[in-house]
Structure 1
């Protein structure tokens, strides 16, 4: 990749704008050298998908476990480009073992309804010195396992997958094949009540404490991560504050059988922290007015994925996930189980140009209302630059 020196005749702002608009001269590449130590890189991808659903309309490109709830049950065919993404990064080399990296990333899927709606995904600075790293900003949660996700044609929306981004301060250190992470991440009191006339104040919260430990080599990886937090809610009418301690444990790993086949497994157990699981946050902490009862419901999930490469340019993924929780005896209608299964095939037609065909099956159960399911077929094109 070519690099261009930015001089006084070509200011960095002008160069970046020209790059982003595609108006640059032929010599201007994705990476711009702004000094002897610092490079700035523009990258991203354009994603287009045709999505056919059997029993839901208006669900959006992300097939969330609770996406069927409250939606029309008519079949639908949608064309979606909201996962198109732009990334702007920098890399500064201070010394052979000291670097400073930053990233700003956004897409257009803030509302997950098929309409282009700008969303900030990540914005962070990462200071690396030798085997140590200090990260500040918004990025993927430390509770996640970023070693590998099911290789889907869009985003991995499998039931039970721990999948969220939020602001944090994280310290990491590597010792050979072992690494540990310690982080304070933005807390969230997503307390709900079945009496909508009650005024709840959930603004007061403390950061979530998250830790992670993993080991990996070229054949396998294992990771354990956990979170402990204090969940607080205030009844405005009674001027009374209630709080309880929540926690969650995430165990995950994978094995590479050979260059063509691999297996992934992940298990999650939670008390009051379902918000870390994609698409089931509405089940979290429940407050009962009058009695002042404050309930942190427990839940668990499990998912697995198998990947196989047919050729150097053709590969498939098969995956299944389940999340479940018991409803409280007196509780009104709520989610109790979601399941998700997928099978796909992806073809690397040209460098950075991928075509994918995927089948999804989603199913959910609730404590009192009828269960629902849906079949989804996706044809996607992904061009990375």
Structure 2
């Protein structure tokens, strides 16, 4: 019962009591009638209220708009600052497709674990079945690459990181026959702080600025393609000159034994000076070959540089060699050391290359390249008639930047190896590449 009904009931009770007095009987009846009308009106209003729709809920307050994210340029070239941090981030890479057409002679293991690009040191001999085949085509996108670089400001200076990978790992058996798969491969993974570098990258013995500009993925075999874990310290001498020393992961191999192992790191040093004219670099490598029976120390030396001879012409050149230089030159990868039963013999290797780059226009350039490698050793080493005595390589190519981030290249490559038995393995190849940079 509502409060109004309670009040009306109370008044009715009062009226009934008062009705016992005859003087007020008429007035009480009038009061009772008025109260009954009031009660009927209240009930009518309550019924209308119950039938009326519920009032709409008040709209919720709108959520505050998120704060705007401002992206600014980072400290690295083509980088951005990660919002909310003091880290600069750069993403880079490209999609690349390569093609080779061998007019005669080609390694038959391309689809599995073989190297599809040029390696003249292992070119099939002309008299072999692989060396006599003609007209062989191969295409791949396995050199496509992706990388990330960062630089973070700190109290001790910028802290840098780099991680880079491609798909040029040895493929699983039958991979291209079934799924066209290629395995992801780590190239670089290192950090820098101050003058120290720790992680995997090019060996300190490498001089990347004197590498030739080739369409072929390997280029010439006189270059150092070793990427490996290392601890490197670089000491600036002045604004354009530095000295870098490093201890690096060893991977020695002595032919003639299956027990090669490593005890000490490879030690490298490199002196570099640069200017508007080009650069000059001198390097050295000390390593040790070891197996269960014997050990032998090895030393390699290298000198290379580049020279800007005109506005449109640049020369790169390099000479490297040593006793047991081994994997620090592609051509001597498997011709470095040999276990003879009483000790370890070292191959002496000397190799060099020269490359001339001419820019016909801002978007078109051509390269003329030549390389030569020679091996020598004691009588026991040179009596192995199936190993190389000398290697000649030559390339001529043209690159065209079709658009801002798109480049194509075409190349003719010649190579010949000659063994100590005077057998020859000759390469005649057309190389092509198509590259699309991410940015």
Please give the TM-score of this superposition, normalised by the length of structure 2: 0.73
Q: 2:92 aligns with which of 43, 50, 61?
A: 43
**Equivalence for 2:348:** 298
Give the distance between the partners of 2:171 and 2:282, measured in 1 at CA.
31
**Equivalence for 2:185:** 119
Contact 1:61/1:80, CA 8 A, preserved across alignment: no
**Equivalence for 1:278:** 330
| Other structure's SS at 1:204 match | coil
Give the distance between the partners of 2:394 and 2:291, measured in 1 at CA.
36
Going from structure 1 to structure 2, the CA distance change for 1:35 and 1:233 (only over 3 Å counts) comes to farther
Equivalences for residues 252-271 of structure 1 within 5 A: 252-271=304-323
Residue 134 (str. 1) matches residue 196 (str. 2): yes
**Equivalence for 1:103:** 162
Give the distance between the partners of 1:374 and 1:92, measured in 2 at CA.
48
Give the distance between the partners of 1:162 and 1:100, measured in 2 at CA.
27
**Equivalence for 2:252:** 189
| Other structure's SS at 1:253 match | strand
CA offset digits 1:4-27 (Å, max 9, x no partner): xxx9xx9xxxxxxxxxxxxxxxxx
Task: Report deviation, 1:148.
Answer: 4.0
Give the distance between the partners of 1:62 and 1:30, measured in 2 at CA.
33
Task: Report deviation, 1:149.
Answer: 2.0
How many residues align? The count is: 342
Of stretches 263-272 and 362-371 in structure 1, the one that deviates more from structure 2 is 362-371
Q: 1:81 aligns with which of 137, 141, 150?
A: 141
**Equivalence for 2:294:** 242
Going from structure 1 to structure 2, the CA distance change for 1:31 and 1:53 (only over 3 Å counts) comes to farther
Task: Report deviation, 1:112.
Answer: 7.8
Structure with the higher strand share, 1 or 2: 1
Give the distance between the partners of 1:119 and 1:223, measured in 2 at CA.
29
**Equivalence for 1:168:** 230
Equivalences for residues 1-385 of structure 1 within 5 A: 31=80, 33=82, 35-57=84-106, 58=108, 59=110, 60-69=115-124, 72-73=130-131, 74-75=133-134, 76-94=136-154, 98-111=157-170, 116-128=182-194, 133-174=195-236, 175-193=238-256, 200-234=258-292, 241-289=293-341, 292-330=342-380, 331-332=383-384, 333-368=386-421, 370-385=423-438
Of stretches 268-277 and 56-65 in structure 1, the one that deviates more from structure 2 is 56-65
Contact 1:327/1:334, CA 8 A, preserved across alignment: no
Task: Report deviation, 1:30.
Answer: 7.6
Task: Report deviation, 1:280.
Answer: 2.6
Give the distance between the partners of 1:363 and 1:341, measured in 2 at CA.
9
Q: Where do 5+ consecutive residues of structure 2 fail to align? A: 1-65, 70-77
Of stretches 42-51 and 145-154 in structure 1, the one that deviates more from structure 2 is 145-154
Contact 1:61/1:112, CA 8 A, preserved across alignment: no
Of stretches 56-65 and 349-358 in structure 1, the one that deviates more from structure 2 is 56-65
Task: Report deviation, 1:365.
Answer: 1.2
**Equivalence for 1:14:** none
Give the distance between the partners of 1:377 and 1:160, measured in 2 at CA.
20
| Other structure's SS at 1:160 match | coil
Going from structure 1 to structure 2, the CA distance change for 1:336 and 1:271 (only over 3 Å counts) comes to same
Give the distance between the partners of 1:37 and 1:265, measured in 2 at CA.
41
Task: Report deviation, 1:34.
Answer: 5.1
**Equivalence for 1:237:** none
Q: Where do 5+ consecutive residues of structure 1 fail to align? A: 1-6, 11-28, 235-240
Give the distance between the partners of 1:126 and 1:56, measured in 2 at CA.
44
| Other structure's SS at 1:201 match | coil
CA offset digits 1:52-78 (Å, max 9, x no partner): 011234454421122423782313011
Aligned-residue RMSD, C-alpha = 2.4
Of stretches 300-309 and 276-285 in structure 1, the one that deviates more from structure 2 is 276-285
Give the distance between the partners of 1:112 and 1:324, measured in 2 at CA.
32
Larger Rg: 2
Task: Report deviation, 1:279.
Answer: 3.9
